[in-house]
Amino acid sequence: MSNAKARMIARAAREITPGMVVNLGIGLPTRVVDHLPAGYPVCLHTENGLSGIGPTLPPESADRNLIDAGGAYVSTIPGSAFFDSAVSFALVRSGRLDLTMLGAFEVSAAGDLANWKIPGRFSPGAGGGIELAQKARRVVVLTTHTDRDGKPKLLCECTLPLTARHCVDRIFTDLAVIDVTPEGFALRELADGASIDSVLDATGAPLALPEGRIPVF
Amino acid sequence: MSNAKARMIARAAREITPGMVVNLGIGLPTRVVDHLPAGYPVCLHTENGLSGIGPTLPPESADRNLIDAGGAYVSTIPGSAFFDSAVSFALVRSGRLDLTMLGAFEVSAAGDLANWKIPGRFSPGAGGGIELAQKARRVVVLTTHTDRDGKPKLLCECTLPLTARHCVDRIFTDLAVIDVTPEGFALRELADGASIDSVLDATGAPLALPEGRIPVF
Amino acid sequence: MQPGYGAPRMILPDKTMAIEEAVARIGNGATVMVGGFGVPGTPFTLIRELVRQGQKDLTVIKNDANEKHLGIDHLLANGQVTRLITTHIGLNPRAIELMNAGRIEVEFCAQGILAERVRAGGAGLKGFLTDIGMDTDLARNKPAFELNGEQALLETALRADVALIHANRADVFGNLDFTATARNFNPLMAMAADLVIVEAETLLPLGGLRPDEVHTPGPFVDCVVQLQELTAEYDVVQR
Amino acid sequence: MQPGYGAPRMILPDKTMAIEEAVARIGNGATVMVGGFGVPGTPFTLIRELVRQGQKDLTVIKNDANEKHLGIDHLLANGQVTRLITTHIGLNPRAIELMNAGRIEVEFCAQGILAERVRAGGAGLKGFLTDIGMDTDLARNKPAFELNGEQALLETALRADVALIHANRADVFGNLDFTATARNFNPLMAMAADLVIVEAETLLPLGGLRPDEVHTPGPFVDCVVQLQELTAEYDVVQR
């Protein structure tokens, strides 16, 4: 993993405050937990039916019946609970999920998220992503600031089919921490080594800059 | 209990065929089970959350947490299961309840049932009765043929607020067994000592008589 | 990218608190779901504390009104309830009298429909369509829809400000189990309120309940109160 | 009238049968719900028997399409499936190809909405109202309603002719429990089909499961098949 990505993940981990119930999307978000101290008071939820996720296990010590929604073999901790898929999403939709961290293809200045479908190229289904994006009390996105071709992922409007509208609160990228505000994107923090200009260049929508010194992560 | 009521209950017990899932309403219906032989293959359901009801217990040997929907202290049998109220009525509404036996204030010739409300006099709420009447695969009623004033309970149309429309399949009374057919009430059996004329007199709607000898219970 | 084998082990927060503190979070005018069907599963001790604290103008959602001098009858007797959403109050003459005198407003639901409305609230749904009660007084004022050629009624989801829950066992994080027919409405209501307060007969440390035997997962629960004694109200009713 | 203390004790019927007999009850054109999320909870042995018997034109309802050479992929490879209602098929390239080639029709649901649609079917409801997916492609062709000033979509209940269920333990009456994340869609689907067929890792006599630890009550289940072996498909996936 690049140094910048690792710093982004470490920074995102600070988004998790004590006592939260948190769902980490597949990919980069699952790595966030590696940056929490052991014994941190947080309840990790996975939508296939577990609250209180314990450490990920290698195949040789895995339980064949115990995976997370990304298919990784996980474990329990004291106080874990198993439940069915209806109860699992009841928890999400009824406001008991304090925070979710998701990946993104595109995020709009209004907080719209597109992360599940590229017409004609990629449409495996939305899985649980729509409900996580639409109903978690706080939705943060972890993503590279631009796609593989260097094109901005933060846009005035999403061009891809939406996952949910007006859902994203904050975006962690390899370049910056950016909030979605009623006035659009607002820069909050810069990655170590990133300049304001590099962030402005890589962002496809207006970006409000803070007054004073910008914190670096 | 009068001899005629006891015979009615004994006759109703023969309505329960092996393998059925059965809910017995409060009052006379709960007594039907006394007439089944021990070891009979049937699953009794109570809507407060138990399948596989065992014998009723006196207070001194009762479990404070184990009642039926009528408040009687019951017990479990091998294979009993407890569940919540949503699952309990899911079972009823989704067609897994083969038979229910209910009491009645009035039954119409179209099979409408009124058994929960007498405007201005009695309206404690319907409890689980509406769903039992509307959704059990077979609904039979146990009732005296007439009310305390001698007035017929089997009528052309119900006068009281309905529990459910077109739901009753068969009626067991102290005088007769009567089916609800597309053409209205049809006499099937006579109670020992009851005459056809006495049944016709006590019935407030046309009653089709069978050809040939009428079985006596 | 490889999964992070051996990532640090988290700990689940402790939600135990004193009953006075938990019940003090209930405000005047609150909508309060109360578990139980008859005696089993009724949170008698939480109800007693709510009577002692005296919050007013409550809307109570409960299967039944208990019997006189038992459970929510104390709330009724104390004049704390203005509205009751229920399925059957036939065992409590006081509730019937208050209703008939217009001193409490009573909304009746078919029992399984009350259970589903509460569950829908807990599941974050807005409502559901059913044909139950179609031809009854309970259908009055409910919007009807046609769905695949069949008529259906719209039943709206129910949520509450508070749920009062009686559990058999709880761990400190709020994982619960229920016993026998004391389960009834408890696990449904434990999902359907903004503040879920549980009284538990037995309080266990984290790990005291196996993950497979949990009936209500801890994330739904806010406050866990250990019962100091099982008062006479919990006993077998002598009739 | 006094309750009949000591009324006779009933016995619960035995629903065990041979797998060939149970699966033979499935007809061509059937709608078949299949439990599982990934490997855990997938009834691999029942699926294998369905492949062997070769019923055609099936509509399959399952969270995912498993991976290639695993689970319902065998049904897809064998040309038995014409329609799939699912949430995510990204781990099975064959399913994607068949969809893109128009050889199977695929209906996608948000995952929790699939769970709720199945549950609604199992609960005898006709549908429910939700705002999930409101601004997405999944909202297409779904009727919208206004409820208390908010927009909501109507999601219809799903029922099936058959449900294929993988249980951890079953007693002969069909009371079931599930283990860990192998629970997922299994208890929901076990309520939502006219014919519910269960494969169980462990078959117990009546009384083998305590009434409080049952996840699916026996009255929902029609056929119980004891697994003779756990084939390699049930194993931990080596990636």
Which range of residues forms the domain containing residue C224? 19-113+160-229
Q: Which two tokens stand for residue A186?
A: 């607002």
State the nearest Cα–Cα gap between C38 and chain B, in angstroms: 7
- Best mutation site among A85, A100, A113 for testing chain D: the one with the most D CBs within 10 Å? A85
Q: Which of D122, D209, D214 sits opposite B90 (nearest CB)?
A: D122
Which residue spans within C45-134 are E strands per DSSP? 58-61, 81-86, 105-108, 127-130
- Per-residue confidence (pLDDT) for residue A27, from 0 to 100: 85
Residue C182 and residue C227 in contact, taking contact as beta carbons nearer than 8 Å: no
State the nearest Cα–Cα gap between B191 and chain C, in angstroms: 33
Q: Which of C5, C205, C206 sits opposite A56 (nearest CB)?
A: C5
Q: What's the CA gap between C86 and B124, in Å, rounded?
A: 10
Closest CA to A161 of A106, A98, A95, A210: A106
- Best mutation site among B26, B45, B48 for testing chain C: the one with the most C CBs within 10 Å? B48
> Looking at chain B, which residue has its C-alpha nearest residue D121?
B94
At least 3 CB pairs under 8 A between chains A and C: yes
Residue C7 and residue C34 in contact, taking contact as beta carbons nearer than 8 Å: no
CB-based contact, D125 to chain C, within 8 Å: yes
Residue pointed to by tokens 């082990």: C9
* Beta sheet of B50-54, edge-to-edge order: B75-82, B50-54, B43-46, B21-24, B99-102, B139-142, B170-172, B176-181, B184-190, B207-208
Whether B164 is covered by a domain: the verdict is yes
Whether D138 is covered by a domain: the verdict is no
> Looking at chain D, which residue has its C-alpha nearest residue A118?
D137
Task: End-to-end CA distance of chain B: give it in Å, rounded.
Answer: 17
Q: Which of A34, A50, A80 sits opposite C4 (nearest CB)?
A: A34
Residue B154 and residue B107 in contact, taking contact as beta carbons nearer than 8 Å: yes
The CA angle A83-A88-A92, to the nearest 5 degrees, is 155
State the nearest Cα–Cα gap between B124 and chain C, in angstroms: 5
- Best mutation site among B65, B157, B160 for testing chain C: the one with the most C CBs within 10 Å? B65
State the nearest Cα–Cα gap between C202 and chain D, in angstroms: 16
Q: Using the predicted structure, report yes or no on whether residue D3 has a pLDDT greater than 60.
A: no
CB-based contact, D204 to chain B, within 8 Å: no
Q: Which of D129, D150, D179 sits opposite C125 (nearest CB)?
A: D129
For C117, residues 6+ apart whose C-beta sits below 8 A from its C-beta are: C109, C155, C156, C157, C158
Task: Report the CATH number at residue D101.
Answer: 3.40.1080.10
Displacement of CA A32 from its chain's centroid (Å): 9
Query: How would you classify the pairing of strands B113-114 and B170-172?
Result: unpaired
Query: How would you classify the pairing of strands A43-46 and A106-108?
Result: unpaired
> Looking at chain D, which residue has its C-alpha nearest residue A164?
D135
List all chains that touch chain A, counting a touch as 3 or more CB pairs closer than 8 Å.
Answer: C, D
- Per-residue confidence (pLDDT) for residue C146, from 0 to 100: 86
Q: Using the predicted structure, report yes or no on whether residue A2 has a pLDDT greater than 90.
A: no
CB contact under 8 A, A65 and D182: yes
CB contact under 8 A, A41 and C10: yes
Beta bridge partners of B204: B155
Q: List CB contacts (< 8 A) between A50 and chain D.
A: 180-181
For C193, residues 6+ apart whose C-beta sits below 8 A from its C-beta are: C33, C159, C160, C161, C162, C163
For the stretch C106-139, pLDDT in tens is 999 999 999 999 999 999 999 999 999 999 999 9
For the stretch A88-130, pLDDT in tens is 999 999 999 999 999 999 999 999 999 999 998 888 999 999 9
The CA angle B50-D121-A67, to the nearest 5 degrees, is 85
- Best mutation site among D1, D11, D118, D223 for testing chain B: the one with the most B CBs within 10 Å? D11
Active site residue A15: no
Q: What's the CA gap between D124 and B137, in Å, rounded?
A: 13
Tell me the residue type at B98.
D
For C183, residues 6+ apart whose C-beta sits below 8 A from its C-beta are: B49, B82, B83, B84, C41, C215
Residue pointed to by tokens 């067929």: D197
3-class secondary-structure state, position A92: helix
Task: Report the CATH number at residue B63.
Answer: 3.40.1080.10
Beta bridge partners of A106: A114
Closest CA to B2 of B201, B208, B194: B194
CB contact under 8 A, C127 and D126: no
Whether D45 is covered by a domain: the verdict is yes
Q: Which two tokens stand for residue D130?
A: 């939700």
State the nearest Cα–Cα gap between A90 and chain C, in angstroms: 4
State the nearest Cα–Cα gap between A86 and chain C, in angstroms: 8
Whether A160 is covered by a domain: the verdict is yes
Q: List CB contacts (< 8 A) between D130 and chain C.
A: 124-126
10-residue mean pLDDT series, chain B (217 residues): 88 97 92 91 97 94 96 96 98 98 98 95 93 98 96 98 98 98 98 96 97 95
Whether D146 is covered by a domain: the verdict is no
Q: What's the CA gap between A121 and C205, in Å, rounded?
A: 50
* Structural domain total, chain C: 1
Residues of chain C with confidence (pLDDT) below 50: 1-3
Closest CA to C116 of D157, B97, D63, D147: D157
Q: What's the CA gap between A82 and D177, in Å, rounded?
A: 12
For the stretch B22-41, pLDDT in tens is 999 988 898 998 899 989 99
Q: Give D2's pLDDT tier (boundaries 50, 70, 90).
A: very low
* Structural domain total, chain A: 1
Whether B213 is covered by a domain: the verdict is no
User: What is the interface size between B and C, counted as CB pairs within 8 Å?
Assistant: 141
Q: Give A3's pLDDT tier (boundaries 50, 70, 90).
A: confident
- Per-residue confidence (pLDDT) for residue C3, from 0 to 100: 46
Whether A216 is covered by a domain: the verdict is no
Q: Which two tokens stand for residue B72?
A: 């009687």
pTM of the model: 0.97
Q: Give D238's pLDDT tier (boundaries 50, 70, 90).
A: confident
At least 3 CB pairs under 8 A between chains B and A: no
Whether D4 is covered by a domain: the verdict is no
Q: What's the CA gap between C188 and D80, in Å, rounded?
A: 39
Return residues 128-157 of D near A (CB < 8 Å). 130-138
Whether A213 is covered by a domain: the verdict is no
Q: Which of C123, C152, C211 sits opposite D126 (nearest CB)?
A: C152
- D73 vs C1, residue with greater confidence: D73
Burial string for D111-138 (b: 16+ CB within 10 Å, else e) reads bbbbbbbbbbbbbbbbbbbbbbbbbbeb
- Per-residue confidence (pLDDT) for residue C65, from 0 to 100: 98
Q: Which of A62, A68, A161 sits opposite D236 (nearest CB)?
A: A62
Whether D222 is covered by a domain: the verdict is yes
Residue B69 and residue D40 in contact, taking contact as beta carbons nearer than 8 Å: no
CB contact under 8 A, C179 and D213: no
Q: What's the CA gap between A63 and D18, in Å, rounded?
A: 29
Q: Using the predicted structure, report yes or no on whether residue D187 has a pLDDT greater than 90.
A: yes
Whether D10 is covered by a domain: the verdict is no
* Beta sheet of B113-114, edge-to-edge order: B113-114, B106-108, B154-155
Whether D236 is covered by a domain: the verdict is no
Q: List CB contacts (< 8 A) between A93 and chain D.
A: 112, 130, 132
- Per-residue confidence (pLDDT) for residue D145, from 0 to 100: 85
Tell me the residue type at B97.
L
Which range of residues forms the domain containing residue A149? 3-208
For the stretch B75-86, pLDDT in tens is 999 999 999 999
Judged on CB neighbours under 10 Å (0-12, 13-18, 19+), B152 is: middle
Q: List CB contacts (< 8 A) between A87 and chain C.
A: 191, 217
ipTM above 0.90, yes or no: yes
State the nearest Cα–Cα gap between D95 and chain A, in angstroms: 9
Whether D7 is covered by a domain: the verdict is no
Q: List CB contacts (< 8 A) between A33 and chain C.
A: 4, 7-8, 10
For C232, residues 6+ apart whose C-beta sits below 8 A from its C-beta are: none
Q: Which of A64, A125, A165 sits opposite D86 (nearest CB)?
A: A125
Q: Using the predicted structure, report yes or no on whether residue D179 has a pLDDT greater than 80.
A: yes
For the stretch A24-59, pLDDT in tens is 998 889 899 889 998 999 999 999 999 999 999 999
Whether B216 is covered by a domain: the verdict is no
- Per-residue confidence (pLDDT) for residue C2, from 0 to 100: 43
CB contact under 8 A, A71 and D38: yes
H/E element, D21: helix D19-23
